[in-house]
Amino acid sequence: MPSTTQRTYSPKASEVSHAWRLVDADGQTLGRLATQIATWLRGKHLPTFSEHMDLGDFVVVVNAGRIRPDG
């Protein structure tokens, strides 16, 4: 039986590009917005996500004073 070894893809540092995300927090729920922002910062929304690499995007939050705390 021939050996078919597949290697797990790991992006190189030169292949990583960080995007900028602008988030308007006006009227949004604190917990849901925090979860979404944390996902973008870690890079878990990318198909090439690797825990040991910094793949996340840069996030800017505007109107943070108007966020809706719930609960």
Residues 42-67 pLDDT 10s: 999 998 888 888 999 999 999 999 99
Q: The whole model's pTM is what?
A: 0.82
Give the chain's domain count.
Answer: 1
Indicate whether 15 belongs to any domain: no
Position 8 in a domain: no
Does residue 55 sit within a domain? Answer: yes
pLDDT higher than threshold 70 for residue 28: yes
CA neighbor of 20 nearest in space, from 64, 63, 61, 67: 61
Contact 26, 64 (CB under 8 A): no
- Domain extent, residue 45, equals 27-71
pLDDT at 70: 84
Using CA atoms, how far apart are residues 19 and 46, in angstroms rounded to an integer?
Answer: 11
Q: Are 66 and 27 in contact (CB under 8 A)?
A: yes
Domain membership of residue 21 (yes or no) is no
| Sole residue written with tokens 């996902």 | 39
Question: Is residue 48 within 8 Å of residue 8, measured between CB atoms?
Answer: no
